[in-house]
Amino acid sequence: MQQEQASPEVQARVQASFERQGLMGHLGARIAHIAPGRVHIVLPCRPEVTQQNGYFHAGATSAIADSAGGYAAFTLFPENSSVLTVEYKINLLAPAGGDHIEAVGAVVKSGRTLTVCQLEVFGVQSGQRSLVATGQQTLICVNARPEE
């Protein structure tokens, strides 16, 4: 795992946006790492994020994967721009269990308008990681201010 970090400015931009996402706080998710083109988000296990059999709900798994990819793209965007998810696809490879899950969004291709990210989610139990979901996401860079 690369330990590279994004610049303090970029980290602050990502963190500030993340804190405005009511859903992330409500789920109990937090950002674990911000590198240029790669963001990790961690979600601890608790009953509020489960499906009917006690595993992490695919919706919770997807939510942090989507945010991780979105912020990974965002780290490479110019200032005063914003990011929107165009679409994503995710395969749930195995029941997602563990102390927490960790989503890693990583930019595969960064274009002027569109960015494509790879999404991976790991279940982590006592420090052991196993891949529980893998996805692919398309994002669009939009000007944060209305067109003038």
Q: Is 60 in the site for its own copies (CB under 8 A)?
A: yes
Binding flag, residue 11, its own copies (CB under 8 A): no
Instruction: Kindly indicate which of the ranges 1-9, 32-40, 51-59, 121-129 contains the residues binding its own copies, using the contact rule CB under 8 A.
Output: 51-59
Integer Cα distance of 134 and 12 in angstroms: 27
The alpha carbon of 93 is separated from its chain's Cα centroid by a whole number of angstroms, namely 18
Binding piece for its own copies, criterion CB under 8 A, among 4-12, 25-33, 121-129: 25-33
- Asked if residue 148 binds its own copies (CB under 8 A), the reply is no
Tell me which residues in 76-95 interact with its own copies (CB under 8 A): 82, 84-95
- Quote the DSSP letter at residue 47: G
Reference 59, options 36, 106, 27; nearest CA is 27
- Is 57 a residue that touches its own copies (CB under 8 A)? yes
Name the minimum Å distance from CB 82 to its own copies. Answer: 8
